Structure formats: C-alpha cells, structure tokens
C-alpha cells in the first residue's frame, strides 16, 4: 500500500514543478493563506508578504489572484487523480485496489491537508472557465473509483445496492478528511487511511468477517 510520503514535515511536496523560484514561493504562500483563511479573505498583500516580497511582485509571475488559485487547483487535482489512478489500475483484486485507493487518497488529504483543503473547498471561487476545467479532472477521479467498485460487483467480491451513490459516498468520505483532520489530533494520516480503507470495504460489503475485535 506504500507508506506515507508527502505526509512528512513541511508538506512542501510536489510544488517542485513550479519553475521560477520566486513563482514557487508565491504559490506556496498562497496555498497556506488560502487554506487558513479562505480565498476571499486572503489579500494579495498577505500572499506577497508571506513570500517575503512586495505586493507588486506577485503580478510579475501571475496575472491575477485568481490565476494563483487556478494553478493550485490544477496541480492538486492532477496529483489526486494520479494517486487514485495508480491504485485503481494496479494488479490485484478489486478489494485490494479499493483499499489501496482509499488508503492513499485519505493519506494525501490528511497529510497534505493544507493543499487538499484549498483544492477541494475553494473551487467555487474560480471563474466559469477555470472551474469547468477543474470539474473535468474531478469527474475523472470519480470514474476511477466507480470503475473499481463496478469491478468488485462484477466479480462478486462486493455487494452494493447503488453503485453510483456508493461511489459518491466513498469519495465524499475521503474528501471531507481535509475539513476535519488536525495535525495535532490523535491520529496520524496512516492511521486514518487504514481506518477508512476498512470502513469503505464494509460499505461495499467486503469487510473482513469480523477480525476477532481490536
């Protein structure tokens, strides 16, 4: 299932692909600010300040404040899709693939909570075009999970009443981790990932037949 990864320390993670160094610093500053206070409550002066630059510097690298959110959303959703795709298309039974998908998806939401929060909850602040683009990525995420669940039903591993509704519930459960997860709380991202994988297998009727409690 692969242990935590970007879970570690500073959560600086995959922003390496953002190329001018100053642009990356601004982007990371924006992620932090958006996650803490929300897109609309964050000022461009705040973002620039966190990156150690003057307010005007932001506009050398990004056309508007919205472009920052758009870039963050696209990178984040691409990463999320990659995580789900890797798990759902690997070798193994539907049961294993679903547990892997949920486990790694949840670990990403818990460990990279700052990023995940922006990616999952600030979508409505994008303009129509940008939002449409991101929603297309999101639909692909849904499709990956849907396919695994359908595989499991077809193979008889799962017992599901409403495949579409259950898919939605599974994704919803994972995504909401970004809302409540607290780094100072009682769980590590790995623990939540394992718990959620178990819960989701139960939801699709493929839970262990009661593993002797605890």
Partner DNA sequence: GACCGCACTAAGCGCCCGCTCACCTTCGGC
Partner DNA sequence: GCCGAAGGTGAGCGGGCGCTTAGTGCGGTC
Q: Which of 13, 18, 30, 44 binds DNA (CB under 7 A)?
A: 44
Q: Which of 2, 36, 37, 60 binds DNA (CB under 7 A)?
A: 60
Q: Which of 48, 68, 192, 197 binds its own copies (CB under 8 A)?
A: 192
* Position 163 contacts its own copies (CB under 8 A): no
Residue 171 in tokens: 């994704």
Nearer residue to its own copies within complex by CB, 14 or 137: 137
32-40, 49-57, 64-72, 128-136 -> range binding its own copies (CB under 8 A) = 32-40
Minimal distance in Å, beta carbon 10 to its own copies?
Answer: 22
Pair 126, 134: CB distance under 8 Å? yes
* Position 212 contacts DNA (CB under 7 A): no
* Position 56 contacts DNA (CB under 7 A): yes
Residues 6+ apart with CB under 8 A from 18: 24, 27, 71, 75
Q: How many residues does the chain have?
A: 214
* Position 167 contacts DNA (CB under 7 A): no
Total residues at the site for its own copies (CB under 8 A)? 37
List interacting residues with its own copies (CB under 8 A).
37-38, 40-41, 121, 124-125, 159, 161-162, 164-166, 168-169, 172-173, 175-177, 179-180, 186-187, 192, 195-196, 198-199, 202-203, 205, 207, 210-211, 213-214
């Amino acid at each position: 299932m692969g242990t935590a990864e970007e879970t570690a320390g500073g959560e600086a993670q995959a922003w390496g692909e953002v190329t001018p160094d100053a642009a990356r610093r601004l982007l990371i500053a924006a992620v932090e600010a958006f996650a803490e206070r929300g897109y609309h409550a964050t000022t461009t002066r705040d973002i620039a300040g966190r990156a150690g630059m003057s307010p005007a510097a932001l506009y050398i690298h990004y056309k508007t404040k919205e472009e920052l959110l758009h870039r963050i959303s696209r990178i984040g959703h691409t990463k999320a899709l990659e995580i789900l795709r890797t798990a759902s298309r690997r070798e193994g039974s539907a049961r294993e693939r679903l547990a892997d998908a949920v486990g790694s998806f949840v670990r990403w939401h818990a460990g990279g909570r700052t990023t995940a929060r922006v990616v999952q909850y600030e979508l409505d602040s994008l303009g129509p075009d940008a939002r449409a683009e991101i929603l297309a990525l999101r639909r692909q995420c849904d499709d990956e999970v849907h396919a695994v669940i359908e595989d499991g039903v077809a193979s008889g591993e799962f017992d599901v009443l409403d495949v579409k509704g259950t898919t939605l519930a599974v994704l919803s459960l994972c995504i909401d981790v970004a809302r409540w997860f607290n780094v100072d709380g009682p769980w590590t991202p790995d623990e939540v990932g394992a718990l959620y994988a178990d819960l989701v297998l139960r939801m699709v009727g493929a839970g262990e037949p009661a593993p002797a409690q605890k």
